[in-house]
Amino acid sequence: MAIEQTSRFDAIIVGYGPVGAAAAGMLAQRGWKVAVVDRMTDVYPLPRAVNFDGEIMRVFQEMGLSEELSRQTEQNLGAEFIDAKGNRIEGFDVPKGATGAHGWPDGNFFHQPTFERTLRKHAESFDGVSAFLGYEADVPDQTPSGVTVHIEPVDGGEKCTLKAAYLLAADGAASPIRKALGITFRNLGYDCDWLVIDVLLKHKVDLPLIPQQVCDPARLATFVPIVGDRRRWEFRLNEGETRDEIQEEDKIWELLSPWMKKGDAEIERSAVYQFHAATAERWREGRIFLMGDAAHQTPPFLGQGMCAGIRDVANLIWKLDLVKRGLAPEDLLDTYQEEREPHAFDLVDHAVAIGKLMEEIADAQVTGNWPENMDAIYGGSRGFPRLHSGVLSQGSEEESGKAFGFVAPQPKVSLHGNPESRLDDVIGSKFAIVSKSDVSDQISPENKAFMERLDVQQVVLPEEARTSKELDLVLGFNEAVILRPDRYVFGVVNAERGLNDQLDQLRSKF
């Protein structure tokens, strides 16, 4: 009988998609010993995600990948809803080269397989990462002190056993781990079939430069420019249409005929996806954490599915690391779902609202009954979600210049005559007090000791040190902001909220 080899790690990650790969890299950066397991040996070959936002680029900035990824990406120059005749109903345009509040373009188009290889290369550049590729992971067992998972090569060979303190289930939408734990989904009710077609242009074709939601009563569609010669269309299946008939080559060219003719492009792939809208009811079971598509799924109308998964990683990793280092209590890990689930749910709900609005706008062109509430439309009034509870001080966004509970804007800064750099690079992956003037002498001895223990950074940013304006509004309303390692604003300091009060509140969480 073969003896199973047992290896020990700090964390096991099941699933080496973009979410698992980002988690492996971020843990390894903090010195963790990580096993990452995937039944596939290479990245998923076909693009699914095509866009990530500026906040997500900041996570990659923390990983040291933003310069490389900015060479792989193309800026999103806007987005619009159009009617059946191609007229803009509503939308927005972004000037070329413009950066948003995060100091990076608000939308970045990318080629998912190339991007995932970059994430894997980053993770595997650390000695602490062991990649078990071509291995199927069994359902994990856990005790109060650790997790065990048996893995087996998919094409035969010896099983091994992995043991670790924690397991991250980044095992995708079908997540065998989520199912084995009996975790159900909160369904938001958008289970529609869409045909997704990716093409490679053979020569220059006159196509829109921005994504379009085509509200055509004959058929809803989406167009996305992506990067280089790649373009994407998504067509909703009409009632009674089958997956097979819509994927026939002649049918695909008929669908593409308003944009281009056969011979203009090569079809790289076509696939029918059922778009789902759901979030998992539990994101943590003891030492096991769900993340990425295992925890939430969204129709792609906002380009936020993978972004939400990367936010999961950015939220959980610093908490796990503080707990492992004995600097935070174990129940800090319960704030992972508390913070992430409502945020993810809000974005899924927004994407569903876009899908429904497309239907209503298409119908309106026939009936004349235009929808009254257009807040979900691109350029509409529906804002980006914030955190409402968790590792946050008591506060209200209205009073604090819309800072509290949001990711803080990232300016460029020049400190003490040093060359210009991005603020996050100055701070590192740590808590920080960012203030307009030096506040050191206001800090109580208890809070000073706490700051030393957690290595809380202090950055003094008078106006002249800020070489770009992103943080000016927040610092206009407040004397200082207290940032978490993932750049969310824990709290603000102003006439109503004293610095020590805010630090006392932060200290009480640890």
Ligand X SMILES: Cc1cc2nc3c(=O)[nH]c(=O)nc-3n(C[C@H](O)[C@H](O)[C@H](O)COP(=O)(O)OP(=O)(O)OC[C@H]3O[C@@H](n4cnc5c(N)ncnc54)[C@H](O)[C@@H]3O)c2cc1C
- Please, are residues 2 and 99 in contact by the beta-carbon 8 Å criterion? no
Least distance in angstroms from the C-beta of 47 to ligand X: 8
**Between 167 and 471, CB nearer to ligand X:** 167
**Between 116 and 475, CB nearer to ligand X:** 116
**Between 308 and 480, CB nearer to ligand X:** 308
Number of H helices, E strands in the chain: 13, 28
Q: What is the DSSP string of 225-240?
A: --STTEEEEEEEPPTT
**Identity of the amino acid at 278:** A
Take residue 210 and report the two structure tokens written for it: 């921005």
Burial 270-290 (b: 16+ CB within 10 A, else e): bebeebbbbbbeebbbebbbb
**Sites of contact with ligand X (CB under 6 A):** 14-20, 37-40, 44, 48-52, 136-137, 170-172, 176, 196, 273, 292-293, 300, 303-307, 309
**Between 113 and 342, CB nearer to ligand X:** 113
Q: What is the Cβ-side half-sphere exposure of residue 149, based on CA atoms within 13 angstroms?
A: 30
**Between 149 and 482, CB nearer to ligand X:** 149
Take residue 357 and report the two structure tokens written for it: 């609005």
Least distance in angstroms from the C-beta of 219 to ligand X: 17
Least distance in angstroms from the C-beta of 395 to ligand X: 29
Alpha-carbon gap, residue 495 to 279, rounded angstroms = 39
CA dihedral 389, 393, 397, 403 (to 10 degrees): -100
**Between 276 and 412, CB nearer to ligand X:** 276
Nearest residue to 23 via CA among 290, 297, 407, 332: 290
Least distance in angstroms from the C-beta of 161 to ligand X: 14
Least distance in angstroms from the C-beta of 67 to ligand X: 21
Alpha-carbon gap, residue 277 to 190, rounded angstroms = 6
Least distance in angstroms from the C-beta of 191 to ligand X: 13
Alpha-carbon distance values, 59 to 19, 37, 102, 393 (Å)? 12, 23, 10, 23
**Between 137 and 408, CB nearer to ligand X:** 137
**Between 161 and 500, CB nearer to ligand X:** 161
Least distance in angstroms from the C-beta of 351 to ligand X: 10
Alpha-carbon gap, residue 11 to 327, rounded angstroms = 18
Least distance in angstroms from the C-beta of 227 to ligand X: 12
Give Cβ neighbours of residue 508 (< 8 Å, ≥ 6 apart).
Answer: none
Q: What is the CA radius of gyration of the chain?
A: 24
